[in-house]
Amino acid sequence: MQAVQPDQLRNIVITGHAGSGKTILAESLSLTMGVINRLGTIDEGNTLSDYSLDEIQRKHSLNTSLVNGFWNDCKINIIDTPGLLDFHGDVKSAMRVADTVLITVNTASGVEVGTDTIWEYTKEYYKPTLFILTKLDADRTNFNATIQALQDHFGHLVTPIQFPADEGLGHHTLIDVLLMKQLEFNPDKTGGMTISDIPDHHLKRAEELHQQLVEAVAETDEALMTRFFEEGTLTEEELRTGIKSALVTRTFFPVFCTSPLHMIGTERLLNVIVNLCPSPIERGPEHAICTLDETKSLIQPNPDGATIAFIFKTMSEPRVGEISYLRVYSGHIETGHELIDVQTGQLEKLGQVYTIIGQKKNPVDKLLAGDIGMVVKLKDAHTNDTLADKGTSCRISPIIFPLPMLATAIMPVTQGDEEKISAGLHHLHEEDPSFTIEHDIEFNQTILKTLGETHLDTIINRLQTKFNVKVDIAPIKIPYRETIRIASSAQGKYKKQSGGKGQYGDVWVKLEPLARDTGFEFASEVVGGVVPTRYLPAVEKGLREAITNGILAGYPVVDLKAIAYDGSFHPVDSSEFAFKIAASMAFKNAFDHAKPFLLEPVFALNVYAPEQYTGEIVGDISSKRGKILGMDSDVRMQIIHALIPQASLTTFHHALTRLTQSRARYSYSFSHYEEAPPDIAQQIIAAKKS
């Protein structure tokens, strides 16, 4: 296949809430372009996009997938993305390399949490955005309510271009107020769009929406505004030019209608993608960072420039190895091309270059600037890496993945599988950087942080299917601490005689409480040589070893000062070992009488939620022994600032998801230690003893 020039490319990402019709829209567009000859379905598990076993089983997209085809001499790269919030790492990586975002909205459910979240991503990446209404041929749809909800959520710049002549079962006709024509579709057939004049009973509404469209487009450009004032209207060509320009500047967000399961609106949408959505050249230069001095630069989509390509997704496949999905931002890539990984300086020689249709790889000679494809078996380059010609120091600004918050400890089912788990998680993290792996040294726990429970389940399932290792979920162990309330003194005497040289150590130690987060201090007030100076380091060592496992529940002891102030020794039997043991005995004796208590870790919590949920969230935090510090506003969100014990965070994620239907997000970080309530402390102590 001949390489496609940048002006003939359209890079589209299809996004939306789970179940809003993304995959079927990609399927419908592929069928209309002639990429496939039969429409697959989610239920049958035979769509182009959802081809992995776990996607077929769950009947949800879990990975980014690519499709490409040609329409009116343009190549359209379509990226289908997951809808579940747990897999929005893939959404952000796909959006990073697309030039236009299509947000699908189910007209039976309206604006959902995924719609809101994706809108925020489009603002972050400053991407041209179209809303695609789906399932207009289903029962209980409501076009007007959906348009109103879109405008309420995202502003008056959201403008309908089409409306259905009939909604619900049997729907097959659209009124297009840009063309000012009626579009009739033959359900379930491609190429069946019939264009005719708008019937009289729809004409008044069409003229009203056409006028709103003209005014909305005119407001985006001074020249068009002048033309509008002079003529009172704009031509179809002026509207098309104005819309394309306004999409790039995010001053206009058109709404189109489809029913992709029955091929209604698909052909018209392909025309829209070609005629209104920007090419890589029209979209403009890409932001990059010069690694030499960290200054920002702009990369022009020039096929004749230096090669700069960005890896936005990494996958591994059996018998194939690691696959790298990339977009070429400048120059070209071809088989055998030697490039430098700008991050590491390592040389990467490209193998065969492919374009992708679902899981099918099509070899190509080269890909030019603006195009999207894949290569296999790169040595060291991974997601977020930039490959460039030697001497090029610019790297594409990285994808910023959503922060994972659900922390879960995992442990091997089979003893000795720790290394297999570590290797498997490392490979899975290269495919999906939106989860993190931490190792808790204190408790020797492997902790996964994921975007949600489905995300966690998927990672555990892939560990088993790809790496043949099973893991169990375990409770995260809380790093409690022990300390004292009052000063206390005690003697520790270690005396052992078993024939020959004995052991003798005798020391008096005073424990004093210190301010919170001070740690541990040791001092000597021994006078008169009652404990020779040479044994004092052993005394300190014995005390430091003793505080690693506290007396109450075995947790480290903090925030106290230990003072050695008296004792005795034997000129023959005393030794460093004896004084180390004596010091630990003195510590335990004094600790018991110093009114010891437990400290628990407390985290600073920030919750971002719509206002209608704040009362329930505040109540839930309070029920989990949290303290509300205050609230702020952030555009459409309320921000709740609170302190919450780490032990309560383990259930907070599930409660927040349930209370807000996943419409809230949160972040947390360690704040301080404070005294655990007596009832909680007793439970912990009893559990430790048992």
pLDDT tens column, 351-383: 999 999 988 899 999 999 999 999 998 988 999
Using alpha carbons, list the distances in angstroms from residue 670 to 379, 513, 642, 643. Answer: 38, 23, 12, 10
| Residue 195: strand pairing partners | 183
For residue 56, pLDDT over 80 is answered with: no
Q: Is residue 185 within 8 Å of residue 265, measured between CB atoms?
A: yes
CA atoms within 13 A on the CB side of 88: 25
Q: How is residue 144 written in tokens?
A: 């007007």
- d(CA 596, CA 483) in angstroms, rounded, equals 6
What is the share, in percent, of the chain residues with pLDDT greater than 70?
99
Query: Alpha-carbon distance 27 to 45, whole Å?
Result: 12
Report the DSSP beta bridge partners of residue 183: 174, 195
Name the DSSP letter for residue 154. H
Whether residue 4 is predicted with pLDDT greater than 90 in this model: the reply is yes
Average pLDDT over residues 66-73: 95
Do 521 and 559 form a contact (C-beta atoms < 8 A)? no
Which amino acid does the sequence have at 501?
Answer: K
pLDDT higher than 80, residue 657 = yes
Q: Does the model's pTM come out above 0.85?
A: yes
Tokens describing residue 391:
């001497």
The mean-pLDDT minimum among 152-166, 289-303, 545-559, 667-681 falls in 289-303
Domain 598-689 has CATH 1.10.760.10: no
DSSP state of 480: -
Q: Note the pLDDT of residue 1.
A: 67
Give the model's confidence band at 62: pLDDT under 50 very low, under 70 low, under 90 confident, else very high.
confident
Res 51 pLDDT > 90:
no
Q: Is residue 258 pLDDT above 70, yes or no? A: yes
**Looking at the predicted structure, is the pLDDT value of residue 41 above 70?**
yes
Q: Which two tokens stand for residue 422?
A: 């570590």
Q: Is 527 helix (H, G, I), strand (E, B) or coil?
A: coil
Residue 306: what pLDDT?
93
CATH for 406-474 is 3.30.70.870
Nearest CA among 120, 112, 46 for reference residue 84: 112
Tell me the C-alpha distance between 78 and 67, whole Å: 5
286-396: CATH class:
mainly beta
- pLDDT exceeds 90 at position 340: yes
Statement: residue 488 has pLDDT above 90: yes
Amino acid of residue 347: L
E strand segments, 614-683 = 627-634, 637-645, 665-675
User: What kind and span of H or E run contains 275?
Assistant: helix 266-275
Question: Measured between alpha carbons, how far is 202 from 211 in angstroms, rounded to an integer?
Answer: 14
Instruction: Print burial letters for 212-226: b (CB count within 10 Å at least 16), e (below 16).
Output: ebbebbbbbbeebbe
Q: Which fold has domain 481-594?
A: Ribosomal Protein S5; domain 2 (3.30.230)
Return d(Cα 367, Cα 11) in angstroms, integer. Answer: 14
Task: Decide: helix, strand or coil at residue 324.
Answer: strand
- Residue 555, pLDDT score: 95
pLDDT of residue 292: 67
Would 406-474 and 598-689 be classified into the same CATH topology?
yes
Name the average pLDDT for the chain: 92
The pLDDT value recorded for residue 40 is: 81
pLDDT of residue 681: 94
Helix (H/G/I), strand (E/B), else coil: 129: strand
Pair of tokens at residue 495: 């005396």
Whether 460 shows a pLDDT value over 90: the answer reads yes
Spatial neighbors of 544 by CB under 8 A, at least 6 apart, are 520, 522
pLDDT band per the 50, 70, 90 thresholds, residue 400:
very high
Provide DSSP, 336-348. Answer: T-EEEETTT--EE
Both tokens of 171, joined, read 């729907």
| Per-residue pLDDT reduced to its tens digit, 553-565 | 999 999 999 999 9
Rounded CA separation 354/375 (Å): 6
- SS3 labels along 529-574: CCCCHHHHHHHHHHHHHHCCCCCCCCCCECCEEEEEEEEECCCCCE
DSSP states of 25-77:
HHHHHHHHHTS-SS---TTTT--SS--SHHHHHHTS--S-EEEEEEETTEEEE
Task: Kindly report the backbone phi and psi dihedral angles of residue 432, in degrees, each rounded to the nearest multiple of 5, phi listed first.
Answer: -135, 85
- Torsion, Cα 400 406 407 413, to 10 degrees, reads -110
Helix ranges (H only) for 450-607 are: 453-467, 536-546, 576-592
Nearest to 433 by CA among 296, 608, 311, 320: 311
Reply yes or no on whether the pLDDT at 499 is more than 70. Answer: no
Residue 310 burial class via C-beta count within 10 angstroms: exposed 0-12, middle 13-18, buried 19 and up: buried
The 3-class SS string of 178-229 reads: CCCEEEECCCCCCCCCEEECCCHHHHHHHHHHHHHHHHHHHCCCHHHHHHHH
* Pairing state between β 520-524 and 560-568: parallel
Q: How far apart are CA 558 and CA 484, in angstroms?
A: 9
100-106/173-176 β-pairing:
unpaired
Is the CA virtual torsion 654, 660, 665, 666 positive or negative?
negative
Q: Which residue has the tokens 């490979």?
A: 427
Q: Where are the domains of the chain?
A: 6-197+251-283, 286-396, 406-474, 481-594, 598-689
Q: Which residue has the higher pLDDT, 296 or 406?
A: 406
* Per-residue tokens: 382: 């991974």
Task: Report which DSSP code applies to 173.
Answer: E
User: Both tokens of residue 178?
Assistant: 């840009």
DSSP label at 84? S
DSSP label of 614: H
Q: Are strands 158-160 and 129-134 parallel, antiparallel or unpaired?
A: unpaired
Share of the chain above pLDDT 90, in %: 74
Higher pLDDT, 139 or 459: 459
Q: How does residue 576 score in pLDDT terms, banded at 50, 70 and 90? A: very high
The CA distance from 635 to 578, in Å, is: 67
Check: CB of residue 16 under 8 Å from CB of residue 103. yes
When the candidates are 3.40.50.2300, 3.30.420.40, 2.40.10.220, 3.40.50.300, the CATH number that belongs to 6-197+251-283 is 3.40.50.300
pLDDT of 473 > 90? The answer is: yes
Average pLDDT over residues 58-86: 90
